[in-house]
Structure 1
Amino acid sequence: MAMPMRRTLVVLHRATCSSLMNAEACLDVRHPGPFFLPVRTKKRYFIPPAVGMKGKIEMNAEDRGRAAGVVIRQEYLERPINIACTAGVFDAYIPPEGDARLSTLSKEGLKQRTEQIRQSAGSQLAIRKIKEHDSLFSTKDFAERAQEIFIEAHNALTQFNKEKLHSLVTERCYPEMTRGNRFKTIRWRFVESLEPPRVVHARCPDMVSKGNLYGQVTVRMHSKQTLAVYDRFGRLMLGSEEQPKDVLEYLVIERHLVNPYGRWRLHGKIVPSWAPAKDPIIKTVMIPGPKLSVGEEFDASSIEVPQPEAVQWYK
């Protein structure tokens, strides 16, 4: 008796569910959605300042950023490194005082001779290393080649040819040659060579790693040159275009030996401590004029230009 009753109830339940589903499909009854949907908004990193803190310096800004969830990146003091050239002159050549005119019998002359022997021994070892990477290197021909690089670099400087100047000087020498020449006019000319240039010093340092070699060769050049520098108003600041001067220079030529496409470029100059002081630069100054009232015209004939006082320059 119990089993037929249970079967009857199951059949009635199925029939009722199917009828309800058909009725809902016919009437297209939809259940209303929720009025509020949980949506995650954008995370706010900005925290408005507190009342009365406007114009004051927050001493603990890093802690406030961490509390707000902001990750503050640590600042590193990084220094850029350029491997195309070195940052200076390694074991710079010390020119003898008076260009080796002291007698070897004196104490100073004997000290100069000892320093020359020590530097020449290191130069021979450096020249051997340079010849291992540059088979065409020769101390006899390199001095003339260095003089040509020097002349071409200064001609490119006077013509403001940046592309050519970059190929003739290193990244260390370029800012030293172009600093302060933006509004100036440079007139430079190589007249003649008083003495044939010669190689006096050579070094082969390495940088960053042990096998990263650089060749630095110091060339002594004694020549006659003319130099004239004009300011942006066309007034002469330094030198003269007609009067040549004898110049004794020690040029440092460098090359990245490991780089197969490297080339010899001007790296810097060595100025000895006994060298004479440079000529002073004549600067252009503005002479204040008279104060004119409204409607008054300026009369140049009634104004006397004050003459500068004579100053004795000691060299």
Structure 2
Amino acid sequence: MAMPMRRTLVALHRATCRRLTNAEVSLDVRHPGPLFLPVRTKKRYFIPPAVGMKTKMEGFTEAKARAAGIVGKQENIERPINISCTAGVFDPYVPPEGDARLSTLSKEGLKQRAEQIRQSATSQLAIRKIKEHDSLFKTRDFAERAQEIFVEAHNALTQFNKEKLHSLVTERCYPEMTRGNRYKTIRWSFIESLEPPRVVHARCTDMVAKGNVYGQVTVRMHSRQTLAIYDRFGRLMLGSEEQPKDVLEYLVIERHLVNPYGRWRLHGKIVPSWAPAKDPIIKTVMILGPKLRPGEEFDALNHEVPKPAAVQWYK
């Protein structure tokens, strides 16, 4: 019984395989080929070119392009400029010699006053042009406002408030005020005004294009201030916090008149040629002591400090 059943199943299996083979031949069915999976090879690190090869390759590429008749684009050296302020003080005010010392009743004081009246004609024309762009400009109120800008700018400098200082001084004055103050401590205070500030000079000029007007106003300020600068070790370099000094300054305030959002900012100072020299800065230096052997003690009383050798400085 088992043998006939087995023969029947084998015959059915062979018949089914023949039918499937015939069907594939008639339909032209092909089995898909074997799949090839990519295998990750060894990681190749970037090897930088040798020193000097970059310049050689650039020159070789340029020579090859010229030989092929390809004209390269000309490179223009461009320098960024800032049009929010001018690069300096145009037609600066010349302070009279002996200002704040000579009386107006003396002979020299009367000569200085007459010279100021002669030079005020050009300033009046400039003031009229400033009022065309700034209707709120008045010489009496502007002098007090300039003094407030001066005080606020120096307070921001002592507090290292860069954002406020940028809004009070121009881009030309900012590096002059902050240069060399990275590791220093500044103590500055405005005590009082010895004379009311006044406008002594005004000028207007065009820059880059006609109609791009800038206004500069010079304000005379005679005040009493204190200034003390300490180095990074906390030692006094210049000035004193307890001893006030009388300071006569000529402040230059500038504004971009065409810009409706422009404001008056501190642009610089005019230092007259007859001004007294500034006090020297006391610098902290390290003095090398004697070489001690093991077990020896340093006796400061018997040690003589060597004097530094004279050095000739050339400008």
Do Structure 1 and Structure 2 share a fold, with TM-score over 0.5? yes
Counterpart for residue 132 of structure 2: 132
CA distance in 2, matches of 1:139, 1:172: 24
The offset of 1:67, in angstroms, is 2.5
The offset of 1:290, in angstroms, is 2.0
The offset of 1:306, in angstroms, is 2.7
- The alignment-based identity, stated in percent, is 75
Counterpart for residue 193 of structure 1: 193
Tell me if the contact between 2:292 and 2:298 (Cα under 8 Å) persists in the aligned partners: no
* Runs of 4+ with deviation above 4 angstroms: 25-28, 54-63, 70-75, 102-106, 112-115, 295-298, 300-303
CA distance in 2, matches of 1:72, 1:62: 13
The offset of 1:214, in angstroms, is 1.1
CA distance in 2, matches of 1:66, 1:234: 58
The offset of 1:186, in angstroms, is 0.3
Pairwise mapping of residues 50-89 of structure 1 onto structure 2 (< 5 A)? 64-69=60-65, 74-89=74-89
Aligned partner of 1:189: which letter?
S
Tell me if the contact between 1:226 and 1:242 (Cα under 8 Å) persists in the aligned partners: yes
The offset of 1:78, in angstroms, is 2.6
1:48-67 deviation digits (Å, cap 9, x = unpaired): x9xxxx99999998753323
Report the 3-state secondary structure (helix = DSSP H, G, I; strand = E; otherwise coil) of the residue aligned with 1:83: coil
The offset of 1:99, in angstroms, is 1.5
Pairwise mapping of residues 137-216 of structure 1 onto structure 2 (< 5 A)? 137-216=137-216
Tell me if the contact between 1:217 and 1:253 (Cα under 8 Å) persists in the aligned partners: yes
Cα gap change, 1:288/1:205 in structure 2, threshold over 3 Å: closer, same or farther?
same
CA distance in 2, matches of 1:85, 1:181: 24
**TM-score with structure 2 setting the length:** 0.72
CA distance in 2, matches of 1:259, 1:126: 17
Cα gap change, 1:261/1:303 in structure 2, threshold over 3 Å: closer, same or farther?
farther
Counterpart for residue 267 of structure 2: 267
The offset of 1:130, in angstroms, is 0.5
Tell me if the contact between 1:85 and 1:256 (Cα under 8 Å) persists in the aligned partners: yes
1:227 aligns with 2:230: no
What runs of 5+ residues in structure 2 fail to find an aligned partner?
1-26, 31-48, 309-315
For the aligned residues, what is the CA RMSD?
A: 3.6
**TM-score with structure 1 setting the length:** 0.72
CA distance in 2, matches of 1:235, 1:275: 28
What runs of 5+ residues in structure 1 fail to find an aligned partner?
1-24, 29-48, 310-315
Counterpart for residue 304 of structure 1: 303
CA distance in 2, matches of 1:155, 1:58: 51
